[in-house]
Amino acid sequence: MRFLLVHYDEFARPLVSSSVVTLGNFDGVHLGHREIFRRVTGRAKELELPSVALSFYPHPLKVLRPDEAPLMLLPLKEKVRLLESVGLDHFLCIHFTRTFASLEAKDFVEDVLVRGLNAKEIFVGKDYRFGRGRKGNVNYLAELGQKFGFCVRVVDPVVVDGILVSSTRIRRMLLEGRVTEAMKFLGRPYKLLGKVVRGVGRGRSLGFPTANVEPENELVPRNGVYSVAVEVENMTHPGVVNVGFNPTFEDDERVKVEVHIIDFFGDLYNKEIGVLFLKRMRGEVKFPSPQSLVKQIREDVE
């Protein structure tokens, strides 16, 4: 898959000869997104055309109304990896600026979708909006398709346990600690990526060494103790992670992510690891003594 982070003016020339395109933010690459990608890649193969996912970076609200911007589920590099795994040929991210936000819906379609991508078919969700002030909708896109010669396909949302799958709903689940439920909507465990940084070494002194993770993800699940799987250099290990303030020892308002990898003895400093959240075991507790904390950690690990 080819990934490009492009500026709007780069669409002055064709970036793809002809294509089947989907538009969206795709944060989380959840089951709803995967259904769209399945449809896009399948149709592209039928037409013998390249498949394209078109998105924006950063999220438009981070530019237009930063205080209202959602916490992103995925760092960009992880989104690229996941989109590559679904079989897309191209993933293009337009660098989102206030100037680009002022582009009228018709101009976006003509300049980007028609001239830049020569789109023959476009797949979107039924609530997709585009253009200045989000004035463009699916019906308007279909009207422009008749003018410019492309077909619009609307993909129905995916429903799990009677609930529509959406990035907003997944964020809420994770912030409430409902990681097992979020897993159903994502189609995989939520993964926190980060580099291991030096801590004070207290976990090792208690007999349970921990890796202190500096998260790349904007969204960290609710404070508590979780059963996790930990990805280290293409290997996966069982583990337990504490998300929170470490109240037994510290009075610090910074949230920490400390993971104990079961039966792992390697050096992780400065390495990037992935922490996959499987189940919330309990909330974070301030214990009366280090000994009572060790007793609880031993139970968590078992």
Domain coordinates in residue numbering, the chain: 2-157, 188-301
- What residue type is assigned to position 105 of the chain? A
pLDDT given at position 132 = 94
pLDDT given at position 63 = 97
2-157 and 188-301 have identical folds: no
pLDDT given at position 293 = 53
Beta strands (DSSP E) in 174-285 are 190-197, 211-215, 224-232, 235-244, 256-261, 272-282
Q: What does CATH list as the number for 2-157?
A: 3.40.50.620
Superfamily of domain 188-301 in the CATH hierarchy: Riboflavin kinase-like (2.40.30.30)
Per-residue pLDDT of the chain (302 residues), as tens digits, is 999 999 999 998 999 989 999 999 999 999 999 999 999 999 999 999 999 999 999 999 999 999 999 999 999 999 999 999 999 999 999 999 999 999 999 999 999 999 999 999 999 999 999 999 999 999 999 999 999 999 999 999 999 999 999 999 999 999 999 999 999 999 999 999 999 998 655 555 455 688 899 999 999 999 999 999 999 999 999 999 999 886 555 556 678 899 999 988 888 999 999 999 999 998 877 654 445 455 555 666 66
Q: How would you classify the pairing of strands 90-95 and 2-6? A: parallel
pLDDT given at position 209 = 80
Report the predicted TM-score, pTM, of the whole model to 2 decimal places: 0.92
**Six token digits for residue 183:** 């897993």
What is the Cα–Cα distance from 187 to 165, expressed in whole angstroms? 11
Residue in 224, 201, 225 with CA at minimum distance from that of residue 211: 201
Residue whose pair of structure tokens reads 């410019």 in the numeric block: 148
The answer to whether 245 touches 254, Cβ cutoff 8 Å, is yes
**Six token digits for residue 27:** 């944060």
pLDDT given at position 289 = 47
Q: How would you classify the pairing of strands 51-57 and 19-23? A: parallel
**Cα torsion at 69, 74, 76, 77 (round to 10°)?**
170
The answer to whether 130 touches 105, Cβ cutoff 8 Å, is yes
CB-side exposure of 33: number of CA atoms within 13 Å? Answer: 24
CB-side exposure of 152: number of CA atoms within 13 Å? Answer: 22
The answer to whether 101 touches 60, Cβ cutoff 8 Å, is yes
pLDDT given at position 253 = 67
pLDDT given at position 136 = 96
Return the H-helix or E-strand segment holding 184.
helix 179-186
